[in-house]
Structure formats: C-alpha cells, structure tokens
Structure 1
C-alpha cells in the first residue's frame, strides 16, 4: 500500500501583525522548573516545551496510568464500578497509612468506585495496591497491563513497575511528552469517567475527609485535574489540565523543588496558554474531515471523522496560513471497523512545526461480496 496525503484546506489566518510564536516569553514562574510542557489538545500543538523527553521519576502521577487501565477495563465491560474487593491482611499491614492513604483495614469491603476516588482525589497508595492485586491477581500482572497500555498509546519513554509511584530505585520512569499523551488519552477516550473521578478537591471515606493536593482546581478557571506527585527523589510534579469554552490544555511540570514552585508554575503556565494563544475552530467532534479510498470493501470509500473538536492554535500576533493535510496508508483494505483509527490530520499554522491528530473510520466497511465487487468494478471504469 502507498502512503497517501490529501491537502484538504488552506486557510489564511486573519491576523496581519508580523509576529511569531517564538517571540512569546514564557511565564517567569517557570524559571526554576527543570521539565515543563504545555499542549493544546484541540490542535495537538506544543505551546511550550522544556526537556519534554527527559526521563524522570513520576511519583504519584503514576496513578494516572492505574486509573487509565481501570477506565479501559470498565469501558470494555470487564470491570464494574460497583464490584466489591476485600482488603487482604498483608496489604493492609504494608500500606495502611503509608504515605497518602485511605487507611484501608484488613477485611474492608471497598468498591471499584471507592478505590478510583481514593486514587484520583486522595492519591491513596493503599487503594492503588488493592485495585492492582484484587483485579489482576498481583502487582506485577497489573504493571504489565500498565506497560501494555503505555505501548498502545505510544509512550515510548516510560516504564511502570509500581501502581502507585512509591520509590522503586528508578524502575518506574516517565517523560513529560508521555504524561501529556496519557492525560489526553484519559480525557478523550473516557470523558465521563474522567469527569467523575478527577478534579475533585475532597472525598470522605469512613468518616475521614481526604484532601486533594491539586494546585489548580478551584484556582484556575476551567481546571479539572489531573494529578500531583511528590517524593524526596522525584521532587514536586504535576500533570494538569483545564478547559475553557471548549478549548483544552494539558500540561506537565516536574522536578520542582518546593510545593509552592509547583503550584505557581502550574497556574502561570495554564493562564499563559489561555491568554497568549487562541484556537481557530476547524471541525466539531464527530464531523467528517475527508474520505479515504477503500479496497475490497462493500463501499469504495469511508468517511474520516474526528473524536474531538479540532482547531488550529495561533499565538497572539502570529500570522498564518493554516494548512491541513490528511495522511493514511491506502487504499484502506476492508474489513474496517467503525471508529478504528485509520488516518491522521496534519495541522500546520504558519511556520510552526506541524502537529498530527488521529482520524477514525466514520462507518464500518465489510469485505465486498460478489455483487459489491461487480458494482465497484463498474464504478471504477467511470471514476
């Protein structure tokens, strides 16, 4: 098959000032932060980047991958939110009160829903272990699920050897680029579950109020998560996100020396992203962007749709034009499942590096039967 590219749109940006994104100064609060990344989800454009591929210890931001794996299992119908688990005596003895905790005791009956609230809000180390052991059989099997999910998402710079981020001599590590990928996937693949479990400031378990350390929720307008992390070795980390008027940003700061530095840099980076950049809407979620040719199917082409609102992101004062190109390896070969990712949309705004977003089959295409092959052959003569 051949790699096919289709230029579908050329839009001159309606901005006349001779400015570029490179002229935008980042927030001063980022000065002491060794790793930082800010991405606009609607366009895939990187708005700010510092050491995005540097490996670091994630601490409790690891728990986002534990939540993501659980979300995938829930979506597949293999894990019910009301499923009950019983806390084992060894787990309770090892993890009750160890770091941030739900203080689970041996014999406690706790649901998937309770555990996910504990993981996302209270950053509960014991909840992560109970979910991993109870569902997968043991922690290594759960970590294997985490690493398979990371590979599926293309997180090539990360590895997970713990469900909760407890120090493990560097066996668990991530990059900012991979954490942003994980955050985007958690939000876009499981929007309802994300809203249910992330972005909550407090929860109550057995009469005890547990508080989130998220530095942005309730402070930055539109902030709704995602997860902090801290150990002495890792420093203070944060994977965060905020949405305003349909525009979604995801960010990472890592290796901050103090909790105050983490808070101020995270808030400043999100506010800078909303104030200094704007989105030019292109396609609503679910809309067809283009069509791809299909071989040996009961249809000769399939619509390519987006599962998110798509925009081009421009800096304040940045000039265009905006160019969109669809890429796919084609013709696509039937059968094709509905919602299978089959193409990418490349977005280029001005002279900035381009970004790519996934496109999905808007309908199923079955293998062609004898009549379909006859009709397609005839149509081919006239196309």
Structure 2
C-alpha cells in the first residue's frame, strides 16, 4: 500500500469501547506465547491490524508455502483472461526429469495432459511439486519465466522482503526466502482479490488423481471453526510452517507460523493462535463504505479541499473486554493537485490502538475537483493569506 506521509490530520477519537477499563487479554498462559513457532504473525483482515507478531520481518525459507504465490499468480491470470481452468498442459520431458517421484506430487506421467483446474487443485490441496512445474511451463513457457512473473507480482503487491527461486519451494540453497509479514500480505491479496477462486480451490479434504487419493495436511481445517486454508510447508532446512486463514461471523484472520520443530508443534501453535485471535478480540465498525472521513488540501483547484471517503467499511479490532479508543490519522502526500476525479485513492487512514502496530486503509476522493479558473485562483490566493 502506498505511504502518504507529507500531510496528516489527527481525527477526534471515536468512543467505541463499552467494557470496563483496565481489562486485559493475555495471548497465552506461558511467558512465551505460542512458543512452538519461532516466527509467528496473526492478522485481522477485517481491520488490517496485526494482533500478534514475533520476528515477523525475519527472513526464512517458506518451503511449499511458496506455492501460494503460484496459486495467486494463476488466479490473477485467470481473472485477466490469460489462463483458463479448462485448458490442458502436458508434463514435458524436462518437468518429468526434474519432478517425477520428487517430494509431494500428483504422480503425473510423461506426456499426461491435465487441466489447469486439476493442476491448481493438486497444488492447493496436496502440495503437488510436479503440478507446479507443469503449470509454470504451460502458462509462461518455462519454469524460469514463471518464476520471473512470481517475483514481479511480489514486487507489485509490496512483498519487499521476498524472492522466489522455484514455483514450488523446493530447496534451492536459500534463493527463495520470505517473511511472515510478506506472507500475510500475499494471503490478504489473494483472498480479497479472488474470493470465489479462493473458496473453490482452497481448503478441500484432499485430491484423488489417477486412482491415487491423498489427504490435505492443513493443520486447522476441521479443527478450527471457519478454517478454509491455506498452505503448509516443510523441508529439513526450513522446518515446519503454515500460512492459514479462517472466517467467523464476518471476521477473517490470517496467520503465519514458521520454524516449528515438528508437524505436531505446527498444528498445536496454529490452532492455538487462531482460537486466541477469535476469542480474545472484537472487531467494531468505524466507518461504512462511502462514509465521509475527513478532507485533504487541494492545489490549483476550484475548491481548496476535497472530501475523503472510506473505500470500503473501515473497522478496528479491540481486545475483548478492554476499554480504549483508537487514534485515527489521515495521511496523504500533498497538497493534492487538481484536477481530481471522484473515487481516486489519494490518502490513507491510519488506525492506532495501544502498543499494537498501526494499520492503514485507503481513502478516496468523495467528489471531483476541477482545475481553478483565473478568478478562483485569485480567491484561493487571498484566502491563503488569512490562514
């Protein structure tokens, strides 16, 4: 998300809390909460707020969680009309040499033609290394070109501490790395941009292909109410990791756990982190979509300010039972330059609550501002003398 830092306005606090003052919620009973995961993050997608973080900016090898970018890139191409779920790709000799019988797979045979839909189901639910390579070659011409597209997409959405060396996360001497923050960002973009594709492809029990049935090893599916994905990862170098999500009553949480010592520890911390996030916090509405939030200064416009409105419902997440009000700050780089169209993303609303990292959501221009004529420029100049 673009950073708007030059101009800011602190809004009056919203009196939202109704619980008794001083109430606190501890993340876990131990002094080191969710200790099974050296790297951990929990994000509330409905508000954009980080609820828990440990070493969330530390780089690590994501292993098969890499496949989430392969899924996201495919979803983007489907929406753009560049890829169709019904088209088929065959396993080439190169893909067969590299991936036949290697790691988790769909047991694809040389020359076997498989639809994009089936490949994506295999990647999402049984972590198929071979399907990732076949999709990459078919959609981009080569694995190398697909990986270049993965890295370009990572830059586009702001994954600044991530680099991909393979389409599937196989060990590559550390060329593939990411952070918990970047993975949470990837999950947020995939779910918010492609909710229907996400619901269709992710979170299934497993996959049967060529008479071989395999189970999905997602540690929270069927264990956490509302859990619907996303992807596990494991190599001896990376340890056990998980990027997961669940939705309840309109609240969606995204979690990252990495570096766990076993699949059992990964499952334990994943379930505990998710359940704590739903039990320990409430999300409350601040502004409805389209609601007036504030204004921004405009230069050389027919009006000296433009109203700023919420691009979507804006929410804040509070510890359950705690009293408090968020600090709301409008940030934008300006004054904005006229002319402006209605609905342009020109600012952000920063939401800060307690010691938690602040979240930011986009604000749009609520009206068009044409360029000033000579008389309006004169009036604007006179008005600025009395500010």
TM-score by length of 2: 0.86
Report Cα offsets for 1:186-209 as digits up to 9, x if no partner.
Answer: 111222221121122223333332
- Does residue 208 of structure 2 align to residue 197 of structure 1? no
Tell me, in whole angstroms, the C-alpha distance in 1 between the residues paired with 2:69 and 2:21. 43
- 1:48 maps to 52
- 1:106 maps to 110
Would you say the 8 A contact 1:157–1:178 is kept in 2?
Answer: yes
Matches within 5 A, 1:26-105: 30-105=34-109
Would you say the 8 A contact 1:302–1:365 is kept in 2?
Answer: no
Tell me, in whole angstroms, the C-alpha distance in 1 between the residues paired with 2:117 and 2:375. 52
Would you say the 8 A contact 1:58–1:237 is kept in 2?
Answer: yes
State the number of aligned residues.
Answer: 377
- 2:360 maps to 357
- Does residue 239 of structure 2 align to residue 238 of structure 1? no
- Does residue 263 of structure 2 align to residue 251 of structure 1? no
2:306 to 301, 309, 313: 301
Report Cα offsets for 1:245-274 as digits up to 9, x if no partner.
Answer: 111111111111111111111001100111
Would you say the 8 A contact 1:5–1:325 is kept in 2?
Answer: yes
Secondary structure of the corresponding residue to residue 114 of structure 2: strand
Tell me, in whole angstroms, the C-alpha distance in 1 between the residues paired with 2:208 and 2:342. 41
Q: CA deviation at 1:286?
A: 6.1
Tell me, in whole angstroms, the C-alpha distance in 2 between the residues paired with 1:185 and 1:223. 18
Would you say the 8 A contact 1:293–1:302 is kept in 2?
Answer: no
Would you say the 8 A contact 1:10–1:321 is kept in 2?
Answer: yes
Unaligned runs of 5+ in 2: none
Secondary structure of the corresponding residue to residue 217 of structure 1: coil
Would you say the 8 A contact 1:121–1:201 is kept in 2?
Answer: yes
- 2:160 maps to 156
Would you say the 8 A contact 2:306–2:365 is kept in 1?
Answer: no
Would you say the 8 A contact 2:300–2:377 is kept in 1?
Answer: no
Would you say the 8 A contact 1:9–1:325 is kept in 2?
Answer: no
- 1:169 maps to 173
2:233 to 218, 229, 236: 229
TM-score by length of 1: 0.87
Change (3 A) 1:120 1:335: farther
Of 63-72 and 298-307, more deviation after overlay is shown by 298-307
2:132 to 122, 128, 142: 128
Q: CA deviation at 1:336?
A: 6.3
C-alpha RMSD of the superposition = 3.0
Tell me, in whole angstroms, the C-alpha distance in 2 between the residues paired with 1:125 and 1:15. 50
- 2:13 maps to 10
Report Cα offsets for 1:136-193 as digits up to 9, x if no partner.
Answer: 2222222221112222222222211111000101111111111111111111122222
Tell me, in whole angstroms, the C-alpha distance in 2 between the residues paired with 1:215 and 1:24. 20
Would you say the 8 A contact 1:161–1:172 is kept in 2?
Answer: yes
- 2:352 maps to 348
Would you say the 8 A contact 1:120–1:197 is kept in 2?
Answer: yes
Unaligned runs of 5+ in 1: none
Tell me, in whole angstroms, the C-alpha distance in 2 between the residues paired with 1:81 and 1:312. 37
1:328 to 324, 329, 332: 332
Secondary structure of the corresponding residue to residue 121 of structure 1: helix
- 2:28 maps to 25
Tell me, in whole angstroms, the C-alpha distance in 1 between the residues paired with 2:376 and 2:87. 50
